[in-house]
């Protein structure tokens, strides 16, 4: 690294629809909701992360809260740049004579188009990234779980985030087959809201109602069936040799959606392969991105 190492700061960013996590020196240094509050007239940043989330739905006409990512990709370029820049500043608290040069690895959905990939790269560069690499989310999840992604064996990861569910079979340092569907945590929330709104539409007043576990399972059923269908579709595309590896090892469930109670059992029963929730599913993608940051020269699957 040499004399100038202190001039370069290395960070890994899990840029999520619901939350953004930044890892620096092997530690989670930022874990905030992916939301910003801006002044409508000047476009200036007012609040970021948790502070902005608390303002959501309560602002007056001069303040606008924006979630810069929708369905896993950047929907508002300017807000995304403000958010990334602001969250990087959270790491560097205290006065500094100069801003360090940033080397970063950012993870992106495996179904990202060229345009979407460029949007992430541009936002990261505008936020101060000098050396920007990108990694696909399921690959980052597999590395974060501790799997040897470069081994000649197949492993399968299902990462249920806020905006997308990423399903991928990985072997020999590459994604062999995958599917990225826009049914995930935000969709589950919308399902629950629609179900609750139904019988209570007669009154506009807030009311409190008891909800059973069965009811939630019922109203999520349609979305979860689509997730199941997507998993089946990836398994159908999987070469037989890798399929055998997956049957032996089971499928790894990551992301916030993996925390849905009983989801692993439901998938195991439906698909007849063992599904297991990984340890700390919320941070596993960020951790894998952090490992990739340390192995930029070694991992050929990182994109620039």
Interval 217-274: pLDDT, tens: 899 999 999 999 999 999 999 999 999 999 999 999 999 999 999 999 999 999 999 9
Instruction: Report whether 84 contacts 55 (CB < 8 A).
Output: no
What φ, ψ does residue 30 adopt, rounded to 5°?
A: -140, 130
**pTM (two decimals):** 0.89
Topology match between the domains 3-140+284-294 and 147-277: yes
CATH of domain 3-140+284-294: 3.30.420.40
174-181 and 101-108 as β-strands: parallel, antiparallel, unpaired? unpaired
Q: Give the Å distances, CA to CA, from 226 to 28, 221, 276.
A: 32, 9, 19
Average pLDDT of every residue of the chain:
90
- Write out the chain's pLDDT in tens, 304 residues: 444 455 778 999 999 999 999 999 889 999 999 999 999 889 899 999 999 999 887 778 889 999 999 888 889 989 999 999 899 888 877 666 566 788 999 999 888 889 989 999 998 998 888 999 999 999 999 999 999 999 999 999 999 999 999 999 999 999 999 999 999 999 999 999 898 887 666 667 777 888 888 898 899 999 999 999 999 999 999 999 999 999 999 999 999 999 999 999 999 999 999 999 999 999 999 999 999 999 988 888 888 8
- Give residues with Cβ within 8 angstroms of 32, minimum separation 6: 19, 20, 48, 49, 50, 87, 90
SS3 percent helix, strand, coil of the chain, rounded to 5, is 40, 25, 35
| pLDDT at residue 49, as a whole number | 93
Crossing angle for the helix pair 77-91 and 114-126, to the nearest 10 degrees: 40
Both tokens of residue 207? Answer: 């009311």
Report how far residue 232's alpha carbon sits from residue 270's, in angstroms, rounded to the nearest whole number.
10
Report how far residue 287's alpha carbon sits from residue 83's, in angstroms, rounded to the nearest whole number.
20
Report how far residue 159's alpha carbon sits from residue 288's, in angstroms, rounded to the nearest whole number.
13
Radius of gyration of the chain (CA): 20
List the chain domain ranges.
Answer: 3-140+284-294, 147-277
- Cα atoms in the 13 Å half-sphere on the side-chain side of 111: 16
CATH class as words, domain 147-277: alpha beta
């Amino acid at each position: 690294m040499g004399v100038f190492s202190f001039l370069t700061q290395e960070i890994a960013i899990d840029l999520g629809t619901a939350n953004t996590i930044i890892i620096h020196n092997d530690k989670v240094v930022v874990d905030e909701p992916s939301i910003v509050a801006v002044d409508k007239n000047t476009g200036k940043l007012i609040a970021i992360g948790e502070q902005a989330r608390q303002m959501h739905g309560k602002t007056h006409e001069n303040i606008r809260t924006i979630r810069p990512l929708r369905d896993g990709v950047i929907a508002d370029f300017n807000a995304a740049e403000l958010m990334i820049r602001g969250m990087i500043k959270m790491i560097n608290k205290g006065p500094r004579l100069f801003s360090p040069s940033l080397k970063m690895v950012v993870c992106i959905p495996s179904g990202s188009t060229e345009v979407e990939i460029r949007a992430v790269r541009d936002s990261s560069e505008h936020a101060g990234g000098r050396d920007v690499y990108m990694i696909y989310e399921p690959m980052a999840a597999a590395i974060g779980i501790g799997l040897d992604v470069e081994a000649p064996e197949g492993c399968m990861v299902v990462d249920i985030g806020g905006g997308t569910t990423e399903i991928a079979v990985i072997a020999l340092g590459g994604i062999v087959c995958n599917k990225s569907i826009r049914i995930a945590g935000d969709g589950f929330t919308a399902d629950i809201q629609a179900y609750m709104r139904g019988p209570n539409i007669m009154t506009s007043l807030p009311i409190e109602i008891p909800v059973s576990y069965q009811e939630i399972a019922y109203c999520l059923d349609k979305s979860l069936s689509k997730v199941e269908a997507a998993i089946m579709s990836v398994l159908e595309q999987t070469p037989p040799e890798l399929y055998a590896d997956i049957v032996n090892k089971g499928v790894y469930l990551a992301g916030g959606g993996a925390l849905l109670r009983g989801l692993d059992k439901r998938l195991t029963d439906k698909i007849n392969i063992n599904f297991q929730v990984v340890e700390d599913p919320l941070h596993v993608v960020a951790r894998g991105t952090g490992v990739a940051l340390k192995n930029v020269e070694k991992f050929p699957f990182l994109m620039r």
